[in-house]
Amino acid sequence: MGIQVVWPSGSMALLTQLEADRISLKSQGELYDLYRNCSLAVLNSGNLTDNSKELLDNYQTFEIDVVRNERGLKLELINPPESAIVDGKVIKTLQKHLYSVLRDIVQIGSVTQDVNALLCDSNRGCIITNEIFHILRAAEAVKADNNPNIAVCWGGHSISDYEYKYAYKVGKALGLRGIDICTGCGPGIMEAPMRGSLEGHALQDNAQNCDRIGLTEPSIIAAEPPNPFVSNLVIMPDIEKRLEAFVRLGHVLIVFPGGPGTAEELLYILGIKLCHENRHNPIPIILTGNENNKDYFDAIDDFLVHCFGPDIRRHYQIIIGDEKKVAEQVAEGLKTIHAHRTLIHESYCYNWSLYIPKELQEPFKVSHESMAALNLSKDQEPYLLAANLRRAFSGIVSGNVKEYGIKQVNEKGPFKLHGDKEMIDYLGKLMTDFINQGRILLSQKDYVPCYELDAKD
C-alpha cells in the first residue's frame, strides 16, 4: 500500500505535454479513467476474476499519476494491489505490462481521433486496418524477418481442470515445434497454451525466443487481467479491433471449449471466411478439446450447420483428444500460409489482403436498443447472419462481465433478442448448454441470464 514509483524505459520514458495531460491524475485528462482502470487490471495480473465492476469496487482508492520531470517520465502508483509488490517493489513483469498500458492508451487516443476524422471516407476500413497495424508494430508484435509462426488460441476463462490440462498439452506440443502463441491474455484457455508453449520452447532450449502475445481491450481487461505467462501485452481500442488484430496477426486459429465469448470469436472468423472475397485466402481453423469435450463440439457443430448449412464444415476441422495431431495440423497450416503469401507477395507477419466487411469491422455499441434491433433471421446473406450472431454474443458478454454492460442490465433489465423461432431455438439451446456446463462466469454459481430470447412465429 502507499505510493510506489515506476520509471518507464525506452520510447515510453518520454511523452509530449499533451499526451501526459490526457492521462494525468492531476489534470483529470479525458483518458485518465481508462488508463487508471487498465493499469489496475495489469497490477491484478494472475488473480482470478471475471467481474470488472467487482475489481474496480475493491480498489476504489487506487490511483496512478504520470509525472514529467528532468529525468523523463515516472509513474506514481497510489495504493496498488499488495499482490503486485514484492519487497517494496512492483514485480518486473507487471512493470513491463504497465509500460504496455501506457503505450497503448496513448495510442488509443490518437487512433480514435484519426479514425473519427475519416468517418465519411470511403477508405475507412483501410484506415482501421492500418491503425491496428500501427499498434501491433509499436508493441513489436509484428516482425518482418519471421516466417508465419503464430497460432491464435481462443477459448473460455471458466473451464475445468481437464480442459486446462489438454490446452496446456497442445501448447507444449506447439512449443516443441517452435510455434508461438497468441491469446486473449486472460485466465483459463487463454493461459494454458501459453504455459505449455513456454515449456515446449524451453525443452528445445529456445525459451528466450518464445513469443506469448496477449491481445485485450479496455472494457474487458479488468474482467480478465493478464495471466502470468503473457510476454507481450497489447491493448486494442475496442473488441472489433481486437478481433481483427487476431486474424491479421495470427496464421492458424485454434478454438478450445468456451462460452459466449468463444462463440463470438468463432462467428467472427466464420463471417469473414463466408465472404466471397476471401475464398482464396487460407485461414486454417481447428476446433479441439479433450475426449470429454466431444458433446460440446457436437453442439457447436450442430448450431453452425443449422445456421449456415452443412457447407460451413468446409471452413474448420474438429480434433478430439489428440494434441500431437493438432500441433501437426498447425505446422502444416503454417506451411500452406507461407506458400500462399510467397506466391502473392503478401506480408508474412500481417494479413493485409484479408477482406473484412464493415459489419464485422466497425464497433457495435451494445445497448438494449441495438440488441433488440439485431436481425437474427436466416433470410439474409450468410456472412451478415454471422455478423449479427457475433454481435448478439458480444452483447451477452458485455452484460456478463463488462462494467458498462452490467450497469445497463442492472438499470433496465435483460437485453432482448428477437428472431425467427428456429434461430432463437438454436441460440437458446446453445446458451443453455453453456450455462449447464458452467461456461459463463467464474464468480457466479447460479447464473442469472442477462438476456431474454423472443421467437417470432
**331-378 per-position pLDDT tens digit:** 999 999 999 999 999 999 999 999 999 999 999 999 999 999 999 999
Any idea which residue has 437485453 for its cell?
Answer: 415
Q: What is the pLDDT of residue 387?
A: 97
Strand partners, 182: 152, 213
Q: Tell me what the mean pLDDT of segment 97-113 comes to.
A: 78
Q: The C-alpha cell of 125 is what?
A: 476500413
Helices marked H in 155-210: 161-176, 192-203
Tens of pLDDT along 404-427? 899 999 999 999 999 999 999 999
Q: Is the dihedral of CA 132, 133, 137, 142 positive or negative?
A: positive
Extract the runs of DSSP E, i.e. beta strands, from 231-301. 232-235, 252-255, 285-289
| Residue 355 to residue 369: CA distance in whole angstroms | 29
Strand partners, 181: 151, 212
- pLDDT bucket at 115, cuts 50 / 70 / 90: low
Burial class from Cβ neighbours inside 10 Å (0-12, 13-18, 19+) for residue 305 reads middle
Total residues found in the chain within this entry: 457
End-to-end alpha-carbon separation of the chain, Å?
59
- pLDDT bucket at 446, cuts 50 / 70 / 90: confident
Q: Is the pLDDT of residue 125 over 90?
A: no
Q: Is the pLDDT of residue 53 over 70?
A: no
AA identity, residue 204: Q
Percent of the chain with pLDDT over 70: 91
Q: Is the pLDDT of residue 443 over 70?
A: no
At 87, is the secondary structure helix, strand, or coil? coil
For residue 385, what are the contacts with CB-CB under 8 A and spacing of at least 6?
307, 308, 375, 376, 377, 378
User: Residue 215: phi, psi to the nearest 5?
Assistant: -105, 125
- Give the distance from CA 23 to its chain's centroid: 24
Q: Is the pLDDT of residue 295 over 80?
A: yes
Q: Is the pLDDT of residue 276 over 70?
A: yes
Q: Tell me what the mean pLDDT of segment 436-449 comes to.
A: 78
| Residue 112 to residue 276: CA distance in whole angstroms | 30
| Residue 184 to residue 206: CA distance in whole angstroms | 23
Q: Is the pLDDT of residue 111 over 60?
A: no
| Residue 316 to residue 308: CA distance in whole angstroms | 13
Q: Is the pLDDT of residue 120 over 90?
A: no
Q: The C-alpha cell of 450 is what?
A: 442477462
- pLDDT bucket at 135, cuts 50 / 70 / 90: very high
Q: Tell me what the mean pLDDT of segment 167-182 comes to.
A: 97
Q: What is the pLDDT of residue 46?
A: 67
Q: Tell me what the mean pLDDT of segment 53-80 comes to.
A: 80
- pLDDT bucket at 242, cuts 50 / 70 / 90: very high
> For residue 5, what is the DSSP state?
E
Closest CA to 437 of 169, 257, 192, 189: 257
Distance set, CA 18 to CA 78, 100, 105, 115, 165 (Å): 23, 19, 13, 19, 47
Closest CA to 56 of 279, 259, 262, 222: 222
Q: What is the pLDDT of residue 175?
A: 97
Distance set, CA 240 to CA 60, 266, 311, 361 (Å): 29, 13, 26, 6
AA identity, residue 182: C
CA angle (58, 59, 60) in 5-degree steps: 105
HSE on the CB side for 276, CA within 13 Å? 1
Closest CA to 424 of 391, 375, 353, 362: 375
| Residue 405 to residue 436: CA distance in whole angstroms | 22
To 10 degrees, what angle do helices 294-308 and 260-273 make? Answer: 40
Extract the runs of DSSP E, i.e. beta strands, from 150-284. 150-154, 180-183, 212-216, 232-235, 252-255
- Give the distance from CA 67 to its chain's centroid: 31
At 451, is the secondary structure helix, strand, or coil? strand
CB 233 within 8 A of CB 128: no
